[in-house]
């Protein structure tokens, strides 16, 4: 089967999966860490992670596909984030996590996995029972990827490959086909480095390589559907969808390769004042094919209001005043907070 596995990996590379590895569908090695994470409530309001059905499946991949004999883990690179700009003024632009500044990966990667399955079926000349996921199934993806030899789980909780860094999407194909498992990646290349822990604005990186999601900017700006806790708003800076900081400071990303052409985005960062005037139609038009649509307009404009408050820039006051008339109470509340922040800072400076 080694020859077949190599053929599959070569085809995977042609399809844009720049890393690929195989593992057995055995229980993931860090499942107990995940259970502990849930028990601590670090998943916040992501209740879909804690349902009995999802936990049973996460604990044992064979619950997803009983006939599964191997899991192919694949990685697709996205573009590195733009360097952090100077300051937070209204001209500095809002920041969107790099993976989300292009076409939604859910629109692209599944079709590639489907094509890879068809290729495998051609090779073995039989139909293959399969399931494939990219960030959509009850799977401990990084755990399986580590066991498939793709990289190690860094202190920032990301999967890191020593040659490719961590800017990539992880996907899996469950197959009723035996493939020789790759050697698990056992070396921890974080060593004594603590850059990500030091740089994280909300101190949410935990010692066991997990995050307290309830404090992570990615959670606060994407998954959280309600008000952002007041004590965390200033720490969000100008991130309006996700956060890349703990990856940007990671030395293993210094030589990260260019992203897959399907996920390249060269548009300049938009000024935040303009973002706060997006109508529902304009928001849909602009973001319907990108991951930002997940936050919906009410979440995105909430985040933009916070980012504007963090600029401390009085030029942002007119659009914030205007947002006090928005139909959405959450946007109005965060605009009010932003106005107070800017006024507070202005009066501190005048003193
Ligand atoms: S994504 Fe941002 S907030 Fe979340 S752990 Fe990384 S640096 Fe911290
Ligand atoms: S910044 Fe340092 S500690 Fe954090 S994930 Fe990268 S290598 Fe590991």
Q: Which atom of ligand 2 is nearest to the CA of 189?
A: 7
On average, the pLDDT of the chain sits at 93
201 domain-assigned = yes
Which residues form the domain of 125?
A: 2-78+100-175
pLDDT of amino acid 14:
97
Around Cβ 138, how many Cβ atoms within 10 Å? 18
113 domain-assigned = yes
Q: Residues 165, 247: one domain?
A: no
189 domain-assigned = no
Residue 244 annotated as catalytic: no
Residue of the CA atom closest to atom 8 of ligand 1: 200
351 domain-assigned = no
Q: Residues 10, 126: one domain?
A: yes
Indicate the pLDDT class of residue 263, thresholds 50, 70 and 90: confident
Q: Which residue among 147, 175, 203 closes a domain?
A: 175
User: In this prediction, what percent of the chain has a pLDDT beyond 90?
Assistant: 83
Residue of the CA atom closest to atom 4 of ligand 1: 216
216 lines ligand 1 (CB under 6 A): yes
Q: Which residue among 142, 175, 208 closes a domain?
A: 175
Q: Residues 207, 171: one domain?
A: no
40 domain-assigned = yes
Q: Residues 157, 262: one domain?
A: no
pLDDT at 99 over 70: yes
Around Cβ 26, how many Cβ atoms within 10 Å? 13
pLDDT of amino acid 350:
80
Q: Among 74-88, 276-290, 301-315, which is the least confidently predicted range?
A: 74-88
Q: Residues 6, 125: one domain?
A: yes
Q: Residues 15, 160: one domain?
A: yes
Q: Residues 252, 312: one domain?
A: yes
CA–CA separation, 30 and 224 (whole Å):
26
92 domain-assigned = no
How many structural domains is the chain composed of?
Answer: 2
The DSSP code for 165 is B
Q: Residues 314, 220: one domain?
A: yes
Neighbour-count burial of 60, counting CB atoms closer than 10 A to its CB (0-12 exposed, 13-18 middle, 19+ buried):
middle
Q: Residues 228, 127: one domain?
A: no
154 lines ligand 2 (CB under 6 A): yes
pLDDT (tens digit per residue) in 67-91: 999 999 999 999 888 776 655 555 5
* Parallel/antiparallel/unpaired status of strands 95-96 and 239-241: parallel
11 domain-assigned = yes
pLDDT (tens digit per residue) in 20-52: 999 999 999 999 999 999 999 999 999 999 999
Q: Which string of b and e fits 179-198 if b means at least 16 CB within 10 Å?
A: bebbeebeeeebeeeebbbe
pLDDT (tens digit per residue) in 137-187: 899 999 999 999 999 999 999 999 999 999 999 999 999 999 999 999 999
200 lines ligand 1 (CB under 6 A): yes
Q: Residues 118, 254: one domain?
A: no
Tell how far the Cα of 18 is from the centroid of ligand 2, in angstroms: 22
User: In this prediction, what percent of the chain has a pLDDT beyond 70?
Assistant: 95
Tell how far the Cα of 315 is from the centroid of ligand 1, in angstroms: 28
220 domain-assigned = yes
Indicate the pLDDT class of residue 349, thresholds 50, 70 and 90: confident
245 lines ligand 1 (CB under 6 A): yes
């Amino acid at each position: 089967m080694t020859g077949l596995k190599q053929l599959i990996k070569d085809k995977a590379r042609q399809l844009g999966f720049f890393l690929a590895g195989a593992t057995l569908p055995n229980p993931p090695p860090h499942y107990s860490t995940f259970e502990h994470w849930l028990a601590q409530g670090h998943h916040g309001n992501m209740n879909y992670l804690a349902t009995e059905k999802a936990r049973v499946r996460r604990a044992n991949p064979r619950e997803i596909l009983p006939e599964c004999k191997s899991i192919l883990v694949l990685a697709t690179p996205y573009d590195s984030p733009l360097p952090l700009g100077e300051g937070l003024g209204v001209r500095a632009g809002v920041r969107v996590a790099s993976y989300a500044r292009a076409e939604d990966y859910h629109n692209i990667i599944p079709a590639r996995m489907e094509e890879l399955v068809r290729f495998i079926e051609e090779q073995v000349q039989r139909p293959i029972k399969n399931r494939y996921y990219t960030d959509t199934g009850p799977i401990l993806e990084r755990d399986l990827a580590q066991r498939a030899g793709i990289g190690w789980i860094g202190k920032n909780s990301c999967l890191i490959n020593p040659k490719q860094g961590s800017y990539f999407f992880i996907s899996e194909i469950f197959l009723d086909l035996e493939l020789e498992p790759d050697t698990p990646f056992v070396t921890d290349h974080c060593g004594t480095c603590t850059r990500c822990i030091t740089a994280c604005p909300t101190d949410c990186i935990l010692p066991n390589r997990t995050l307290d999601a309830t404090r992570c900017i990615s959670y606060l700006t994407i998954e959280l559907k309600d008000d952002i806790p007041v004590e965390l708003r200033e720490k969000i800076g100008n991130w309006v969808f996700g956060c890349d900081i703990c990856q940007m400071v990671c030395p293993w990303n210094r030589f990260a390769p260019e992203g897959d052409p399907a996920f390249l985005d060269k548009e300049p960062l938009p000024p935040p004042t303009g973002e706060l005037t997006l109508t529902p139609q304009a928001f849909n038009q602009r973001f319907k094919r990108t991951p930002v649509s997940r936050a919906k307009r009410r979440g995105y404009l909430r985040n933009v209001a916070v980012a504007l408050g963090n600029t401390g820039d009085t030029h942002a006051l007119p659009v914030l005043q205007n947002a006090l008339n928005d139909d959405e109470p959450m946007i109005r509340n965060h605009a009010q907070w932003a106005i107070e922040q800017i006024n507070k800072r202005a009066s501190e400076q005048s003193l």
